[in-house]
Amino acid sequence: MITDAPLRIVIVGHVDHGKSTFVGRLFHDTGSLPEGKFEQIKAACDRRGVPFEWAFLTDGLQAERDQNVTLDTAHICFRTPRRRYVIIDAPGHKEFLKNMVTGAASAEAALLLIDATEGVQEQTRQHANLLQWLGIKQVVVLVNKMDRCLFNADIFRRIATEYPKNLVIPISAKTGDNIASKSANMPWDTGPTALEALDTFKAAEEPANLPLRLPVQDIYRFDNRRIIAGRIESGTLRVGDRILFSPRDKLGTVKTIEGRQSVGITLSEQIFVERGQIISHEYDAPIVADAFGVKLFWLGRQNLEVGRRLKLKLVTQEIECHIESVEKVVDDSALADVTIRTKRPIAFDTYDRVAATGRFVLVDQHQICGGGVIMKGEYHDRSQNIFWTETEVSRADRERRNKHKGTVVWLTGLSASGKSTIATALERELFAMGMHTYVLDGDNIRHGLSANLGFSPEDRTENIRRVGEVARLFCDAGLVVVTAFISPYRDDRQLARSRVDEGDFVEVYVNAPLAVCEQRDKKGLYKQARAGKLTEFTGVSAPYEAPEKPEIVVNTEQHTPAECVEQILRYLKDNGRI
Amino acid sequence: MNHLDSLEDQSIFILREAFYKIERLAMLWSAGKDSQTILWLARKAFFGHVPFPVVFMETGFDMPDLIALRDRIAKEWNLNLIIARKDVAGMNPSKGRVVCCSALLKDNLKQAVARHNFGGLIVGVRRDEDPTRAKERYFSPRDKHMEWNIADQPPERREPINTDLAGITHLRVHPLLHWTEPDIWEYAEREQIPMAPLYFARNGKRHRSLGCVPCTAAIESNADTYAKIRDELRATKKSERSVRAQDQESEDAFEKLRRDGYM
């Protein structure tokens, strides 16, 4: 037997406008109360010496009944001949807004209750805004407590005109008017009852034809299989599909799939996968960026603050972020349009394209302090083979055959400190030992790969970035690659280091005092720099940032190049690189 | 999507989140219908495995039927079974049913959590069971005394689920929160989940909810199959815990137990 999922309806509105009373009455008038519940509620009221209180049905907590106010959201099931419902009774009190969000966030439709004698109040407006912000479009307005204004049609109409786009129904929860049956007290009203209105709500449609989004939840190793687990948030996945892992841009092929929505998949290739990545098809990828415009709902105990460090959670991605700017604040600072910047690029969609990957929550010291939906972001066609393709031969395969590890030996030091001399001698030694090796030399690279760059700080940085990338590829190819570049900036060397795995990067500080280098000056560069003919020359007119924690320091003033090479080889052997 | 499929997918998602986020995760297993369902879901979530210990609370007033099922399932499904027991001399329901529950179950549970230093416990409560459980979260923090601050619970959206308190405080995880009692039986029928024979009617009586022998009453029923049980529950107006004598002692008997750390 196949049953439809129940429709989830949240009841919202200002505190004391009768939400819980309405729920209790609805249950009673439709014969939905469990046996003995009515008597139980009556006894609880008698004990407190108060008149019969319908709200005690969902106000399940002692404190709620004592104070006659709903503190937290309750979920209860209910059915009409037409279908099943989950009724979510949310608190109206301002202090319990976070509980109201908890309730409303999972609803497909809402009933907004307004006290006829008080009209639209602060939380009435705030809740209505919140519903809109949560994307709940089906909202029926119930003008309650009509008995208290003698079922006056004018009072009802005055409130109803504020909601021209909604169905508005006059009711009295306490007396049961227009709840499950038509009210005899309001002959002027020709609309449906609250119960009839419920049955007009439509179940949220299954998203069809949406792009595939499968956030990686975890990676398991069971029974010698490596299983990637996650829940398909949209779209369809089939065996044999080429899939893209964002934001790292890795490609793989689906070998097996188990499960329907919460799935486990295996891949044909061995690629690095971690929690947080979003799997999509190659041709219909999510956005990858580190800044985006959002609609934010703020629940924090402190005020919303630009620059404050928060944690952002978007499906299974978690990353540090901050509010970069606030564009617009609506509604008592609870709702705002802001720009968020994350520490590194993440994968996401705009909310209108894929809801699940277009919404997020913010966490401040382990507490959810807000949530939002992403409004702006640009989709780029990332399908033009710009991905890291995993080839059939892995680095591990190459290293097994080569009998040594791919390694980057990064020489840094002043001009004429001896980098090129050491690099070429080291290469010769490694080659003689049967290693696969190659030297990337500053001058040689500038003849080709970096021919378009000068010596400004920006160009130096770009030059080193390129060298770092080439070194990484060589390392991946299983070579011991030796680089000989001044590489004067710490950050640039750090970037190169960060591009390979730990242990792969061996920084060698080729150390010789400036005076010694200047004296060597085989190429006559120092002379030109001193004469002002060569600008931005490291050590003379541009800074050199010496390494703080290099793996090796070689001193070319006191040691011969052969001794320096010997020192480097010893390190590589001791650390299992060669 | 089929209703049961979506219930199942949501529960698997929660189990996997709990397993990823919580160190020293364990599951409370009574071998009753709800915890049988969670175990079934866990084996789906983890590809035939239950990768955390299951804790069975013994009181000395246990249903022999459940003990038998426990021992069979623990072996067949290769479970890491921890049997927790805290004997209190002379304790029995005549001392007061809530007093007894407190001593033999609630304190037993607290002791087991402290002994094994569990970072979180998976528990099979559902929102439709009683009004306090209707206010529960999927991930519900407990303080260091295992107490539940019911008036100040963290906000929770349907997803991403709030798991940030993992490692900070003890968490209760409720993967069946969104299920109803008939859902359990409909799913059990589809999946053929092994259930204790006491649930199925014999001679016009069956058990609807299983606790300790002295405090659990049978109901009048002829429902002797999964489908008949489901249909019976769809039609009934009696609440599930009405057969649990300890809840009926006072208006807030059950709420007090739960605030203090009961399931």
What local confidence, expressed as pLDDT, does residue A122 receive?
Answer: 84
Q: Which residues of A touch B47 (CB under 8 A)?
A: 220, 222-223, 225, 227, 258, 264
Over the stretch A517-533, which tens digit does the pLDDT of each residue have? 999 988 889 999 998 88
Q: How far is the alpha carbon of A27 from chain B, nearest alpha carbon, in Å?
A: 12
Alpha helices in A4-151 (DSSP H): 19-29, 37-48, 62-67, 97-104, 122-133
Q: Whole-angstrom Cα distance, residue A235 to residue A217?
A: 17
Q: Which of A28, A75, A86, A351 is the best mutation test for B, with the most CBs of B within 10 A? A: A75
> What integer is the mean pLDDT of A445-456?
86
* Smallest CA–CA distance from A106 into chain B, residue: B158
What local confidence, expressed as pLDDT, does residue A133 receive?
Answer: 73
* Smallest CA–CA distance from A73 into chain B, residue: B135
Contact B184, B3 (CB under 8 A): no
> What integer is the mean pLDDT of A255-279?
93
What local confidence, expressed as pLDDT, does residue A387 receive?
Answer: 47
Q: Whole-angstrom Cα distance, residue A335 to residue A373?
A: 11
Q: How far is the alpha carbon of A89 from chain B, nearest alpha carbon, in Å?
A: 10
What local confidence, expressed as pLDDT, does residue B173 receive?
Answer: 93
Same domain assignment for residues A48 and A71? yes
Q: Which residues of A touch B6 (CB under 8 A)?
A: 5, 261
Over the stretch A209-246, which tens digit does the pLDDT of each residue have? 789 999 999 999 998 899 999 999 999 999 999 999 99
Q: Do B151 and A2 touch (CB under 8 A)?
A: no
pLDDT at B243 over 80: no
Q: Which residues of A touch B46 (CB under 8 A)?
A: 220, 222
Q: For residue A200, give Cα distances in angstroms to A86, A145, B81.
A: 15, 23, 50
Residues sharing a CB contact under 8 Å with residue A196, sequence separation 6 or more, in sequence order: none
Over the stretch B61-112, which tens digit does the pLDDT of each residue have? 999 999 999 999 999 999 999 999 888 888 888 888 888 888 888 888 888 8
Q: Which of A165, A198, A231 is the last residue of a domain?
A: A198
> What integer is the mean pLDDT of A437-455?
87
How many domains is chain A partitioned into structurally? 4
Q: How far is the alpha carbon of B6 from chain A, nearest alpha carbon, in Å?
A: 8
Same domain assignment for residues A219 and A88? no
Provide DSSP, A61-78.
SHHHHHHTS--S-EEEEE
What local confidence, expressed as pLDDT, does residue A384 receive?
Answer: 44
**Higher pLDDT pick, A86 / A471:** A471
Of A5, A62, A217, Cβ closest to residue B6: A5
Q: Which of A281, A314, A341 is the last residue of a domain?
A: A281
Residue A505 domain-assigned (yes or no): yes
pLDDT at A262 over 80: yes
Q: Is B115 exposed, middle or buried (0-12, 13-18, 19+ CB in 10 A)?
A: exposed
* Smallest CA–CA distance from B153 into chain A, residue: A99
Q: Whole-angstrom Cα distance, residue B60 to residue A431?
A: 76
Same domain assignment for residues A132 and A228? no
Same domain assignment for residues A58 and A179? yes
What local confidence, expressed as pLDDT, does residue A202 receive?
Answer: 85
Same domain assignment for residues A403 and A366? no
What is the domain range of residue A271?
Answer: 207-281
What local confidence, expressed as pLDDT, does residue B170 receive?
Answer: 81
What is the Cα B73 distance to its own chain's centre? 16
Contact B261, B146 (CB under 8 A): yes
Encoded amino acid at A312, one letter: L
Q: Which of A65, A85, A102 is the best mutation test for B, with the most CBs of B within 10 A? A: A102
Same domain assignment for residues A340 and A243? no
Of B45, B134, B186, Cβ closest to residue A75: B134
Over the stretch B167-184, which tens digit does the pLDDT of each residue have? 667 889 999 998 989 999
Of A5, A102, A366, Cβ closest to residue B155: A102
Same domain assignment for residues A158 and A244? no
Q: How far is the alpha carbon of A504 from chain B, nearest alpha carbon, in Å?
A: 30
Residues of A catalogued as catalytic: 487
**What is the signed CA dihedral for B28, B29, B30, B34, rounded to 10 degrees?**
100
Task: Tell me the ipTM for this assembly.
Answer: 0.86
Residue A28 domain-assigned (yes or no): yes
Of A6, A74, A313, Cβ closest to residue B135: A74
CATH number for the domain harbouring residue A75: 3.40.50.300
